[in-house]
Structure 1
């Protein structure tokens, strides 16, 4: 059992981080800035340059890297392999050109200031890389990850993550001298390549053939917390494996996400991971803020601020030109370049590694690390300001640029794929409407695999699952679950969080329909009404009544039923006034006045009907009419 002193030493840093996030982020959001900037400034305040509330920032940084890992996993979940293949021109064309060109220009600038060729090259590469976490967070806040410029920015980030392993492998070659060193490096490189290839093949095979059965088995158990644990196990296990063979942990997590992108459990996994991702990513940004060298900033602030501005402007100019060359409009090119301007997380890996290999001296390393951190601090502000300026001066013709990436969003989100939902989706399927279906029954998911819909395992009564499934971007939500209380809960959540989404709901019975009407749903239908009326119409026809007359009678019953339901919802009928005041149910009443009273055909039936009539008579008595001796 942990001692009290252990708890005391553990809690203050946690409380410090939480307090900094709770105070800093809302302030920056209120003034219109990104949450990223709020985290970065909070890190500066609690770090060594501020109030020194955290004694060991390095420890926080090692834990915070998991935030980037989980972020890349969620991004991977949004990308099917087919979409990655369609992006190959941007990934290997634009991404490679950006990294090469920015490295050459930034390394040349370093050489002009007296750095050695090796130091210039390492610092140029470190600054040419972009901050994946910052860029994706900004794109997510804007909702632009699916836009053409957002897709190109992501392609560049993906190529940079892939290239890091090659850069780390080449740095020992750059530091080595003599042919023997080169031969040793070549053997190590070949061995490393074979190891990476084997690990990638193993991950792909397991992801392709093992993960879906694995999650199906866990889902059948009904233990939601086990699904969360399994999701973390897959993400962190793949990330650790990739790091062990030489790739980056974020790259491994991204690969795991891509392998699960077409899984039926995608939205549930995303909802389970999201809370961990958000907190750890915020911790990562704060750790970057804490890494800024306050002493160096005080002593060399003109040079640091000048270098920060120059690095951002150089990257914006170069990357915007490349975006334009690859087909983006100028406005989108500049927005994408601003997103990619801050130096990347891997700068904090490459620069210390270069110092250990003797490629960079310590003063230059300190300066470059501080420069990279400052670009991450200033970059979001510059991107926000530039985006605001471009929005005010955007031509009308560019207001709605054509989306070059195929949309994966569905027009209709259906919660519940039981007997009701299946028939509903048949109608949508016949019209070619894009549909996403959510159900927590594994068997229903399996039976839906032949419909061609996007269907995922998840609990539709959870806000995080609905959000992950894209309810905010759907035109219409159809709630087809067979649990009345669950349906009401979903309606309440959607009306509270997604006011623009229309709600069409399957009502279980008349009482449920009234409750739904009181919640102002856009449309509700009792599940048996239309089928029962159609059944009655067929019965009339079977008795020899002409089809037109049977149809007219059915339509008249339908109208009477709707009118009575509206009156019941308004509490305008005597028996319904008691219902609205708390009576447990609405009693069935005939829509047409009976021509004769009911007749009991047995003694037991007469007793039952007599009791019912006496109770009805008692209910209709007013309080002042009630006998005094009752």
Structure 2
């Protein structure tokens, strides 16, 4: 009987079990998810309990986590923002790669006496940082839209672009020079594919998604989202670029789409678990036998590499105008080496360009830099906060770096029907930033055509709210006309965001009481306010003074809303209300 399927299932079960057991512990002690995943990988891997020995099999699946991560990054970077970052990408990013690679080359060639080819591969391989680690750390701290985030992303984007020519360089060193001298059509293919993909996304994507949404089947919509991400990744891989770059381009294509929040919400669960799997494989790569055997050398190389990379990034960040604290944070964040280093050294070792023992040593050093990065980031952040407090005590002006883009504080408006649209118009008139969510496609199209920032998405689902920036929102206004959706949304928001103000519409007095119990901050009854406005006109038309009208209406409103939960529970009748 073939037991390979059962063995694979056991591996999956153990990975899930480790996630469920270890991650809550690391969250409890405030070490974060990344270190939890790393610890789980070290425990389960071949150098721990040896529960999982075929790390490469797991790594192939884990690579999809990086793909989905790059897709989410692309969807959060609108083309206009990306164009604004071009100087950082090709200025700061290119300078970081070349200067770091040159410094590492000099150390490897002159300091350790390695060959020219080996030193070049080592220099560029270690100069690359981890896109997965950096973006995850940024997203945990809400720093993607800050200056630190923009500089870090610029460097990482340039490094992702550089992976393709670096792999071609390894092929050339291994004896594939004949291919490199052929006509350069194969170099033109990636450029043509990128242009074609962006054009197709601009002209075909929204009409296609409109047809899918019109079918009313959310499973089909999710399948299309996955097909889009993985299809773009495969096309770029086929054209010679990295799959992560293809996913990033797919995200850019959707950055201006009004379906972006729903698609991002559908992708997030896959990204989370697969990216966690990627971090586990990094933990599995830590060879404890080699580490104990050459502890001093490995630790020395790891610390020296992180200090060198951080120093170069810090100087470059200062040169482009960043302040000391932001430069220090950016340098620390980018101080590790990354997942593409695993790929580059693996290809170089298999092709004979890099000695196997050197490849194992470098792989261990990369894994250790990843392991130390979260600690380094936390340490630097605490240092900056201590410096801030000390200088404020001494009366010195010190600007604390921006961890969260507070300028993006906005209102999330759930539902964009008649009530939601009027609320949006008034907020716009008052200069209040907001994002609207609605599930009716025609309504979203009409609203966006009139300039309203409305997106397609089910606002009663937490993952959609998170994609709309609930972590950074100032409040949530619920204007949905479905009472069941309103109930679910209010309860979920209060559960995940205990301090978030929630202002919501309600069907009637009983619904008001239910929503208050579920955690609503303010409730407004649809039937009450209509009745009060009509009554106001009737009373004024019959000669009642405006002061007396206001007094009567305010008394009624006060009686209606005060102690509404207690009154409904005791079945009390308010002024003028019929008992049913």
Q: Please tell me the TM-score bracket, short chain as reference.
A: over 0.9
| SS of 2:486 mapped into structure 1 | helix
Alignment of 1:103-252 (within 5 A): 103-111=101-109, 112-176=111-175, 181=177, 184-187=179-182, 190-252=184-246
SS in 2 for 1:478: strand
User: SS of the residue aligned with 1:95?
Assistant: helix
Alignment correspondent of 1:601: none
Q: Hey, what does 1:50 align to over in structure 2?
A: 48
Identify if the C-alpha distance between structure 1 residues 588 and 566 changes in structure 2 by more than 3 Å, giving closer, same or farther.
Answer: closer
CA contact (8 A) 2:77 2:252 kept: yes
**Distance of 2:405 and 2:80 partners within structure 1:** 12
Matched, 1:309 2:303: yes
Please report how far the alpha carbon of residue 550 of structure 1 lies from its aligned counterpart in structure 2 after TM superposition: 5.5
Q: Which one of the candidate residues 579, 590, 593 is aligned to 2:576?
A: 590
Shift of 1:533: 3.6
1:472 aligns with 2:471: yes
* Structure 1 residues 335-414: aligned runs within 5 Å: 335-394=329-388, 395-396=391-392, 397-401=397-401, 409=408, 411-414=410-413
Q: Counterpart of 1:32 in 2: which secondary structure?
A: coil
Counterpart in the other structure of 1:599: none
Q: Is the 8 A contact 1:47 1:54 kept in 2?
A: yes
Counterpart selection for 1:30 from 16, 28, 31: 28
Is 365-374 or 522-531 further displaced after alignment?
522-531
Matched pairs, number: 573
Give the deviation of 1:532 after TM superposition: 4.2
Corresponding residue to 1:580 among 569, 572, 577 = 569
By how many angstroms is 1:495 displaced? 1.6
Paired with 1:480 and 1:106, the residues of 2 have a C-alpha distance of 58
Give the superposition deviation at 1:459: 1.3
Q: CA deviation at 1:587?
A: 6.7
Determine the structure 2 residue equivalent to 1:495.
Answer: 494
Shift of 1:518: 4.2
Distance 1:476 1:296 in 2: 52
Deviation track 1:402-438 (CA, whole Å, cap 9, x = no partner) reads 799895x352111011111111112112222211001
Distance 1:332 1:317 in 2: 13
Q: CA offset at residue 320 of structure 1? A: 0.9
Aligned match for 2:253, one of 259, 264, 268? 259
CA distance in 2, matches of 1:404, 1:451: 30
SS in structure 1 of the partner of residue 339 of structure 2: coil
Distance 1:152 1:525, change over 3 A: same
Partner of 1:466, secondary structure, is: helix
Is the Cα contact below 8 Å between 1:151 and 1:405 reproduced in 2?
Answer: no
- Of the structure 1 ranges 291-300 and 10-19, higher mean CA displacement relative to structure 2 is found in 291-300
Q: Does 1:562 align with 2:548?
A: no
Q: Contact 1:534–1:554 at 8 Å: present in 2 too?
A: no
Cα distance, 1:299 vs structure 2 = 2.6
- Provide the rounded CA distance (Å) in 1 between the counterparts of 2:517 and 2:14: 45
Tell me how far apart the structure 2 counterparts of residues 25 and 511 of structure 1 sit (CA, whole Å): 41
CA distance in 2, matches of 1:137, 1:220: 34
What are the Cα deviations for residues 378-420 of structure 1, in whole angstroms up to 9, with x where unaligned? Answer: 222222223222222234444444799895x352111011111
Q: Does the residue aligned with 1:372 lie in a helix, a strand or coil?
A: helix
Between 122-131 and 453-462, report the one with greater CA deviation: 453-462
Q: 2:432 corresponds to which residue?
A: 433
> Which is further off, 58-67 or 257-266?
257-266
Structure 1 CA distance for aligned equivalents of residues 417 and 86 of structure 2? 40
- Partner-residue secondary structure (3-state), 2:182: helix
RMSD: 2.5
Cα deviation 1:198-223 (Å, max 9, x = unaligned):
21122112211222122222222222
Q: CA deviation at 1:471?
A: 2.1
Deviations 1:271-312 (A, max 9, x none): 111111111111111111212334432332221111111111
Match runs of 1:7-86 below 5 Å: 7-86=5-84
**2:352 match: secondary structure:** coil
TM-superposed CA distance for 1:589, in Å, is 5.5
Give the distance between the partners of 1:558 and 1:86, measured in 2 at CA. Answer: 54
Q: Secondary structure, in 3 states, of the residue corresponding to 2:46?
A: coil
**Take 1:362 and 1:83, find their aligned partners in 2: how far apart are those partners?**
43
Equivalent residue of 2:366, what SS? helix
Using a 3 Å threshold, how does the CA distance of structure 1 residues 404 and 291 change in structure 2: closer, same or farther? Answer: closer
Deviation, structure 1 residue 28: 2.8
Shift of 1:559: 1.1
- Alpha-carbon distance change, 557 to 219 in structure 1, aligned in 2, over 3 angstroms: farther
Q: SS of 2:435's equivalent?
A: strand
In the alignment, the residues of structure 2 paired with residue 514 and residue 550 of structure 1 have an alpha-carbon distance, to the nearest angstrom, of 33
1:40 touches 1:288 (CA, 8 Å); kept in 2? yes
Q: Structure 1: give runs of 5+ residues left out of the alignment.
A: 592-611, 620-630
Aligned counterpart for 2:276 among listed residues 282, 288, 291: 282
TM-superposed deviation, 1:176 = 4.8
Q: Sort the Cα spacing of 1:26 and 1:456 in 2 relative to 1 into closer, same or farther, 3 A.
A: same
Alignment deviations for residues 306-362 of structure 1 (CA, whole Å, 9 cap, x no partner): 111111111111111111111111121111111111111111111122234432222
- 1:510 positional shift: 2.7
Structure-2 separation of matches of 1:268 and 1:482 = 19
**TM-superposition CA deviations, 1:44-101 (whole Å, max 9, x none):** 2211111111131110011100001111111111110000011111111000000001
Q: CA deviation at 1:23?
A: 2.8
Residue by residue, what CA displacement relative to the aligned partner does 1:167-200 show, whole Å, maximum 9, x if unpaired? 22233344559xxx46x41326x22222112211
The 1:289/1:349 distance shift into structure 2, 3 A limit, reads same
Do the aligned partners of residues 406 and 64 (structure 1) sit closer, same or farther apart at CA in structure 2, a change above 3 Å counting?
A: same
- Distance in 2 (CA, whole Å) between partners of 1:360 and 1:8 is 37
CA contact (8 A) 1:148 1:403 kept: no
C-alpha separation between the residues in 2 aligned to 1:239 and 1:125?
24
1:570 positional shift? 5.5
- TM-aligned CA deviation for residue 588 of structure 1: 7.9
1:536 Cα offset (Å):
4.1
Distance 2:404 2:487 in 1: 39
SS of alignment partner, residue 590 of structure 1: coil
Partner of 1:449 in structure 2? Answer: 448
Tell me: CA distance 1:580–1:532, structure 2 relative to 1, closer, same or farther (3 Å): closer
The answer as to whether partners of 2:100 and 2:127 remain within 8 angstroms in 1 is yes
**Preserved contact between residue 537 and residue 550 of structure 1 (Cα < 8 Å):** no
Structure 1 residue 243 displacement after superposition: 0.8
Deviates more, 1:308-317 or 1:369-378: 369-378
Cα distance in structure 1, aligned partners of 2:346 and 2:285: 13
What's the TM-score once normalised by structure 1's chain length?
0.85
